């Protein structure tokens, strides 16, 4: 399983490099959204006792760092959705997303049990971020469509929507069975990456030239 995890990490890093090379063609939040996932996943691979175990896999520092890294993907998706929908991210919105996340990540150090910390993460914080991001992107896409779609639907909107759907499904399985089995976790990662990479390549190579030829 560690070998598959290493392959996923390498693909993530490679895709970040592609997004970096195309950063002028994409929304400024596209790379940060995917980089948040890549950094979290790579950190878990290097540090986790289930990965390469290069660092301590227990203790309050590990729990806090792992929780912050994991929840960063959810919070960045919500903030990126706010950026698309509103055109900016007010400071109070950033604080309203970041402060609860840090408190939840450090809740065990503040006296909460492990089960309470996991409940706060997986039942409250993460679903709120994902559902909020999904609804904002839905409203954003409807607005773009009503305006005539002259500039097309931004790839960032597609990335956030797919991320929200995949992670909500993943959370649903985690909450139903306690912990997501490893093979299913890898299947979700594979589905996610194939979807966003194939769509991006197809859109750039086929959809955009076709739209330009028809305009």
Q: What is the DSSP letter of 56?
A: -
Q: Output the pLDDT for position 114.
A: 85
Ramachandran assignment for 90, one of left (phi > 0), alpha (psi -120 to 50 degrees), beta (any other): beta
CA 107: distance to chain centroid? 22
pLDDT digits (tens, 9 = 90+) for 95-153: 999 999 999 999 888 888 888 988 898 889 998 998 999 899 888 888 877 766 555 56
CA 44: distance to chain centroid? 15
Q: Please compute the mean of the pLDDT values over residues 156-176 and round it to a whole number.
A: 75
Q: What is the DSSP letter of 215?
A: -
Q: Assess contact for 127 and 175: CB atoms under 8 A.
A: no
Q: Assess contact for 116 and 104: CB atoms under 8 A.
A: no
Residue 210, pLDDT > 50, answer no
**Domain range annotation of the chain:** 2-214
The two three-digit tokens of residue 163, written as one number: 């991320």
Q: Output the pLDDT for position 81.
A: 93
């Amino acid at each position: 399983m560690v070998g598959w995890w290493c392959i996923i990490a390498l693909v993530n890093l490679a895709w970040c490099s592609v997004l970096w090379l195309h950063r002028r063609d994409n929304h400024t939040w596209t790379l940060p959204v995917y980089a948040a996932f890549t950094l979290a996943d790579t950190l878990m691979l290097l540090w986790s006792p289930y990965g390469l175990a290069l660092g301590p896999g227990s203790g309050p520092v590990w729990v806090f760092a792992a929780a912050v890294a994991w929840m960063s993907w959810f919070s960045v998706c919500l903030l990126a959705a706010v950026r698309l929908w509103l055109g900016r991210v007010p400071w109070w919105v950033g604080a309203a997303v970041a402060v609860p996340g840090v408190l939840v990540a450090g809740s065990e150090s503040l006296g909460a049990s492990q089960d309470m910390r996991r409940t706060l993460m997986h039942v409250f914080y993460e679903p709120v971020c994902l559902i909020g991001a999904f609804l904002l992107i839905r409203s954003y896409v409807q607005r773009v469509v009503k305006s005539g779609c002259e500039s097309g639907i931004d790839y960032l909107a597609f990335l956030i929507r797919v991320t929200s759907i995949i992670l909500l499904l993943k959370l649903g399985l985690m909450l139903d069975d306690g912990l997501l089995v490893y093979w299913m976790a890898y299947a979700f990662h594979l589905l996610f990456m194939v979807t966003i990479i194939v769509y991006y390549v197809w859109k750039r190579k086929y959809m955009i030239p076709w739209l330009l030829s028809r305009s």
